[in-house]
Amino acid sequence: MITKLIHKEIEKNIISNLINADKSIEIAVAWFTNPTLFDLLIELINKNISITIILCDDSMNFSNPKVNFQKIIDLGAKIQISKSPKLMHNKFCIID
């Protein structure tokens, strides 16, 4: 397995990897606030890609109306919320 750290054009690189998913995407990120990535997850769910997201229980995750987790839950995604005092502060994604 090759691991690369990419800072420049991160959104472009994330999108490129997500659209190549065949079966599943598992995301662990403290804060998920990006509407572009959220809309892509909806597209992938509609292509029968299984989505699981682990988030921290922070109001930032639930204040953007363009990132409505209930919408992807209704489509079949699994959302897990990490509660204080154990802050989930990871930032990774497993594809397939």
Q: What is the per-residue burial (b if ≥16 Cβ within 10 Å, else e) of 5-34?
A: eeeeeeeeebeeebeebeeebebbbbebeb
What is the reported pTM?
0.86
pLDDT of residue 17: 94
Q: Which amino acid is at 27?
A: I
Domain ranges, ordered by start, for the chain: 22-95
Model confidence at 86: pLDDT above 80? no
Task: List the CATH code of the domain at 22-95.
Answer: 3.30.870.10
Please tell me the distance from the alpha carbon of residue 60 to that of residue 14, in angstroms, as a whole number.
21
Please tell me the distance from the alpha carbon of residue 40 to that of residue 37, in angstroms, as a whole number.
5
Model confidence at 5: pLDDT above 70? no
- Give 74's contacts (C-beta < 8 A, 6+ positions apart): none
